[in-house]
Amino acid sequence: MFWQVVFRRVISAGGVVVGVVCLVFVLLHLVPGDPVDVMLGEYARPADKEALRRALGLHQPLPRQLAQYLERVLHGDFGTSIYSGRPIGQLLWERIPATAELGCAALGLALLLAFPLGILAAVYRNSLVDVAAMSFSLLGVSIPNFWLGPMVILVGAVWLGWFPVSGREGLLSLVLPAVTLGTALAAILARMIRSSLLDVLSEDFIRTARAKGAAEWMVILRHGVRNALLPVTTLVGLQLGSLLGGAVITETVFAWPGIGSLVVEAIQRRDYPVVQAAVLVIALAYVLVNLVTDVLYAWIDPRVRFEREP
């Protein structure tokens, strides 16, 4: 039964990845602009443009280009960058560590903020503490990264001078991008922790633990928080993928040399193969994280397997 659930999730995830690749491929080729003009300039001779277009395979019909691209991807070949002429695999491996570093830092910051805020909001329900914590959550969800990024640069780098404005040069340069990327996730997790913990604190086993004379902090942390972690764990797994989407904006604002900034640079240069490969990596990471979360959820809670059976 469990392995049937895993098999269905894998098949579904594979279909999502193929769909994303095809959609991105088509949309990129519909964007105005010609990569040949970017490489040779608008005033290059038509014969030179046509020769380069044939060398890159851009003269072929779009369905044939898509089929050839999918075939190369299945063999692990992402092609060559139109702009730099370098293998795209090398470009990706140079950028992936920076994105992974930023994502881990943002997730760690989000957890450090979300758990205290969510627990305090649940314990002191309808108090000023609860209102303050949920107000922070509302702000965190509402403020977009492209606005929050320049604001933290203005305060942390320009006014206070504590952190670098941009780039990836040491631990301090990681602080501002991690704050920008992790704030929204912290807000979402704090609300989920509060809601889940409130449901658990009304259960009979919590009243039993209190009746036995257990300390309040032990009741909350040992019995309450532990039993409230299942939906929170699921949300963390789902939100990990969204960090990659937010990283595109955050990395651009802070000139962080990751996958997100690579995507933006490649779009500006009409470097189709690089954009396709980078989006494919982001889609694979997102789908993989969601797949692992879904499978773990079905493994931890057997009821999920039977509820989803046709």
Asked if residue 280 lies in contact with residue 224, where contact means CB atoms within 8 angstroms, the answer is: no
Mind listing the pLDDT tens digit for each residue in 62-120? Answer: 788 888 878 887 777 777 887 777 888 888 888 888 888 888 899 889 889 988 888 88
C-alpha 223/C-alpha 220 separation (Å) is 6
**pLDDT for residue 199:** 82
Sign of the four-CA dihedral 176, 182, 183, 186:
negative
Q: Higher pLDDT residue, 48 or 185?
A: 185
Among 96, 35, 42, 40, smallest CA distance to 65 is for 35
Q: Which of 123, 91, 78, 260 is nearest to 180 (CA)?
A: 260
Q: Report the predicted TM-score, pTM, of the whole model to 2 decimal places.
A: 0.76
Percentage of the chain beyond pLDDT 70 is 86
Cβ contact 237:189 at 8 Å: no
Q: Does domain 96-268 match CATH 1.10.3720.10?
A: yes
Give the pLDDT score at 245.
66
Query: What tokens were used for 110?
Result: 């989000």
Strand, helix or coil at 87?
A: strand
Whether 263 contacts 91, CB under 8 Å: no
87 forms beta bridges with: 80
Contact 152, 180 (CB under 8 A): yes
